[in-house]
Amino acid sequence: MPPRAKLALKIAGISAAALLAALIVTSVEISRHLKDLVPAWLSQHYNGTAQVADFHASIAFPFVLGSAENVTLHFKGREDLPPMIAIRKLTLRASIWELLRNPVRIASVQLEGLELNIPPRDTPGNGGTIMNFGRKAREARFGEIRADGAVLKILTQKPGTSPREFDIRELRLSSTDPEGALEFHAKLSNPMPPGEITSSGVFGPWNLEVPSETPVKGAYVFEHADLGVFRGIAGILSSTGQYKGVLDQISAQGTTDTPDFRVARAGHSVDLKTTFDATIDGTDGDTYLHPVEAHVGKTVLICQGKVEHTEGKPGKEISLEVNTQDGRIEDLLQLAVKEKPPMTGPVHLKTNFELNGGPKDILDRLTLDGSFGLDAIHFTQSAVQQRVDNMSKRGEGKPREVIDPSQAIAEDDVASNMNGGFRLKDGVLTLSAVQFQIPGAALEISGTYALEPEELELYGTIRMQAALSQTTTGFKSVLLRLADPFFSKNGHTVLPIKITGTVQHPHYSLDLGRKEEKAAQRGK
């Protein structure tokens, strides 16, 4: 072999050996560098003590592959609290050249068994020293972070309150912001009511001193939420909206739509739509509504209040102020009565709404306390409406115009006005000082209406313009002239009455036992 060929072979061998040695040295150096980078970066950026149980790195030129197991970080060294970050296994992939840059660029990271436990505000340190790596850790940017099956818990210092927990089925993160904010896309299952949430937005930059004040903003879509898990109601809800704030206090605006919403006892399906503006306490899920606008048919309800946990009581309590000025009574009755709503017409309503937590049916946990007014209402059953018309004719002293309720109702039926106070508790509606007015007559009634089985027990008085003898004809009229003085008061006829039966089939009769006085006391 010529000397020059021998020299070339020798140089090539030396170069190959040098390259192999360089690769070995580089592999060892990068492995050491990555092994230090993971806990150093976590400790510095999340203000805690990071530990890695086991770390391995390898080179698949031109990439470096790294894996770490049982990665934990305790916020401010607080090992008495759950680790703020816990990762069962971390796998990363990066180009050798990208690892030499500043900031370091890591193409992909996969996190298995990620659990985030966000400590509450004012969490002090343990008085010890946070991990010190001697120099500032290098900045890092991430192409994509996958963390499917992650769990986010927001811890709280409120006694008797469990931490808020979110199970995230799919999570994608990326970091291109120099301040450290992460773009995210997540899919998660909502526990109550069960449904699927998809959300995208920006998370961070991380607040080193108060993690719960880390900013977050984004948009969400909530689908297939089954309201049937709440006893007493049913329907499939969907919602879209936006949110922003910090982890433990988020402002949200959006809409909901439940096209088949129904109260179980009534059974009627209505299209319930809402528009809301709310503030959510991320530590316990307490929600403050300001306000919610709910649409049921042609009726708009304005609701304002809160949904919060009370120590020592199960679940959350809903406390609202509810108002409507231009509603329709038939829309609201769809939610309360089993058959066709017994009346139609405008309604204005103001009530306090209290719903306690617990396993009972919603109507058994609901308390309403307010007042209402009905203007120009008509009854949907012709027989009931005809009785009202007949009452008006008798009150005006026109008994000859009275029509048998079994006959067809006249086209010019009488419109009624009604107003008064009400209280719903334990499934029983108590009416107090309800005024019912029609031409020629006015009623004042008090009493109860049991939602199940829709039974009435109302007592009161009817005041008529005509004398008692003028409300009928023939021999009855002659006989009643003897009774006129006994029921006359200030130029009107005043009769004690009672209304029993059901909403659909009420029964009217005289109440000569004067039970309306007891009913009035009961309604106070």
Contacts of 511 (CB under 8 A, 6+ apart): 459, 496, 497, 498
pLDDT tens profile 16-66: 444 444 555 555 556 666 667 778 878 887 888 888 888 887 777 777 888
Cα 251 to the center of its chain, rounded Å = 13
Select from 429, 412, 441, 428 the least CA-distant residue to 508.
441
Instruction: Say yes or no to pLDDT of 483 above 80.
Output: yes
Least confident of 24-38, 157-171, 336-350, 383-397: 24-38
pLDDT tens profile 63-103: 788 888 999 988 888 888 889 899 999 998 888 777 777 77
234 or 2: which leads in pLDDT: 234
In the numeric block, which tokens belong to residue 321?
A: 């102020």
Which pLDDT value is given to residue 488? 84
- Report pTM: 0.76
| Longest CA–CA separation in the chain, Å | 150
Top mean-pLDDT range of 189-193, 213-217, 336-340: 213-217
Q: What is the mean pLDDT of the chain?
A: 81
Instruction: Say yes or no to pLDDT of 129 above 70.
Output: no
Which pLDDT value is given to residue 130? 43
Q: Where are the domains of the chain?
A: 37-147, 381-523
Which pLDDT value is given to residue 19? 47
**Span 157-170, mean pLDDT?**
77
Which pLDDT value is given to residue 524? 47
Which pLDDT value is given to residue 34? 67
110 or 31: which leads in pLDDT: 110
Least confident of 106-115, 136-145, 418-427, 452-461: 136-145
Which pLDDT value is given to residue 131? 43
Instruction: Say yes or no to pLDDT of 377 above 80.
Output: yes
Report the chain's C-alpha Rg in angstroms: 37
Q: Do 330 and 344 touch, CB atoms closer than 8 A?
A: yes
The DSSP bridge partners found for residue 343 are 379
3-state secondary structure of 478: helix
524 or 268: which leads in pLDDT: 268
Which pLDDT value is given to residue 17? 47
**Span 213-240, mean pLDDT?**
88
What percentage of residues in the chain have a pLDDT greater than 90? 19
Q: Do 171 and 146 touch, CB atoms closer than 8 A?
A: yes
Helices (H) and strands (E) in the chain, counts: 8, 28
The DSSP bridge partners found for residue 379 are 343
Which pLDDT value is given to residue 247? 82
244 or 355: which leads in pLDDT: 244
Q: Do 255 and 232 touch, CB atoms closer than 8 A?
A: no
Select from 94, 26, 88 the least CA-distant residue to 66.
94
Which pLDDT value is given to residue 20? 46
In the numeric block, which tokens belong to residue 98?
A: 């990208």
Instruction: Say yes or no to pLDDT of 135 above 60.
Output: no
Q: Residue 1's pLDDT band (boundaries 50, 70, 90)?
A: low
Which pLDDT value is given to residue 160? 64
Instruction: Say yes or no to pLDDT of 246 above 80.
Output: yes
Which pLDDT value is given to residue 410? 55
pLDDT tens profile 393-409: 888 888 888 887 776 55
The number of beta carbons lying within 10 Å of the beta carbon of residue 137 is 17
The DSSP bridge partners found for residue 55 are 68
pLDDT tens profile 342-351: 888 999 999 9
pLDDT tens profile 309-328: 776 666 778 888 999 988 99
Burial class (CB in 10 A: 0-12, 13-18, 19+), 421: middle
The span from the CA of 353 to the CA of 373, in Å, is 17
The DSSP bridge partners found for residue 353 are 320, 368
**Span 225-251, mean pLDDT?**
87
Instruction: Say yes or no to pLDDT of 199 above 90.
Output: yes
Q: What angle do CA 516, 521, 524 make, to 5 degrees?
A: 125
Which pLDDT value is given to residue 112? 93
In the numeric block, which tokens belong to residue 439?
A: 């031409």
Which pLDDT value is given to residue 137? 55
**Span 120-145, mean pLDDT?**
61
Which pLDDT value is given to residue 89? 93
Instruction: Say yes or no to pLDDT of 462 above 80.
Output: yes
Contacts of 435 (CB under 8 A, 6+ apart): 417, 418, 419, 420, 442, 443, 444
Least confident of 20-34, 99-113, 144-158: 20-34
